[in-house]
Amino acid sequence: MDYLGGNMDKINVGIVGLGRSGWDIHSKLLEKLSDRYRVAAVCDADPLRRNEAERQFKCRSYETLPEFLKDSEVELAIIATPSHLHAANTIEALKAGRNVVCEKPMAGKLSDADLMIKTAKKTGKVLTVFHNRRYFPDFLKVREVINSGKLGRIVEIKMTWNGFGRRWDWQTLRKFGGGTLNNTCPHAIDQALHLFGDKEPEIYCHMEKTVALGDAEDHVKIIFRAKGAPMVDLEVSSACAYAGDSWLIMGTQGGLRGEFTKLQWKYFDPAKLPRRTVSEFPVADRSYNADNIPWQEESWDIDQDRSPGQAGFYVDLYETLKNNAPLAITPESARRVMWVIERCHKIAGI
């Protein structure tokens, strides 16, 4: 499919919030898909940011959300405001008759997520959440390898998004919905749940504030467990000076390791192993049992990848809005992420 070419009926978009996400991610993706989307309006309290958007997109700009929602040309509102405003801003936009893309986290609490879903159904408008990491090439490749069955039954999946670095912006403050659990973990939790499967997980969570200057946590460990599902060990930390592999997957016929840009995996055909039976007798040479496993190895590098990346989010959304295709990222799937986040807050007593 050609993601960037052709003459198509454009969707008029309004971006609410021109910060890191609204400007550096959403507006850039929409520019790449200018055959499908047109930025018709923006909303931000900062006049300098509004002026910049007016010059860049030749669009209208508004200081407040009520003013913005009076713009009848806007069909799709992207809510990229601070985390603690997502639910209220989304509900207001839905009630004003707009389809909505809400940034993660979907809401501050599960009950607000439920109200957002209820409002979308009542208004008949599309609500989706920007879980763009579902489209990242490394995740797609990991899922492909797992689904191929080459690794056998998946025993454990370790996901680590670690590094060492202080932050002192608004996302380190609880009063603004800050903290690693709310602002980085939703992406990783969303991926983890897709690999975990449909079962409701038993959750273990440990969180603490380490090097961030605010009062919110910046070190998070979450374990997902359920009978018949792989255990998922997820760690997102700002206090890891020696970050290891981002992916480490253990299976009964092989495993996978790697980073966001490079993966490798090895596996074997069980039929090619010699037949063995359990023995109660000591090994003759006092050694441990050892198979000569006929490993097969494969690898993937992002430089060779041809997937559209996170632009695929807006490609799929266009098909939903214009051609009634099924919604790729449903609000119900985003609610599942919120359920995990709320469980973690309760476990940690925060």
Whether residue 3 is predicted with pLDDT greater than 50 in this model: the reply is: no
Contact 236, 186 (CB under 8 A): no
Whether residue 4 is predicted with pLDDT greater than 90 in this model: the reply is: no
DSSP state of 198: S
Q: What is the arithmetic mean of pLDDT over 328-337?
A: 98
Contact 191, 134 (CB under 8 A): yes
Q: What is the arithmetic mean of pLDDT over 75-104?
A: 97
Contact 66, 60 (CB under 8 A): no
Q: In the numeric block, which tokens belong to residue 129?
A: 């959440």
* Single-letter amino acid code for the residue at 71: D
pLDDT digits (tens, 9 = 90+) for 21-58: 999 999 999 999 999 999 999 999 999 999 999 999 99
2 — pLDDT class (breaks 50, 70, 90): very low
* Single-letter amino acid code for the residue at 302: I
Contact 283, 296 (CB under 8 A): no
What is the share, in percent, of the chain residues with pLDDT greater than 90? 92
| Cβ density class 69-91: b for 16+ within 10 Å, e for less | bebeebbbbbbbbbbbbbbbbbb
Tell me which residue of 166, 190, 140 sits closest to 331, measured CA to CA: 190
What is the share, in percent, of the chain residues with pLDDT greater than 70? 98
Report angle CA 210, 215, 221 to the nearest 5 degrees: 45
Contacts with 290 (C-beta within 8 Å, 6 or more apart), sequence order = none
pLDDT number for residue 350: 78
Report angle CA 47, 73, 118 to the nearest 5 degrees: 95
Average pLDDT in the chain: 95
306 — pLDDT class (breaks 50, 70, 90): confident
pLDDT number for residue 290: 87
Q: What domains can be seen in the chain, in order of their start residue?
A: 11-131+311-325 (3.40.50.720), 137-308 (3.30.360.10)
Contact 33, 60 (CB under 8 A): no
pLDDT digits (tens, 9 = 90+) for 158-186: 999 999 999 999 999 999 999 999 999 99
Q: What is the arithmetic mean of pLDDT over 128-134?
A: 97
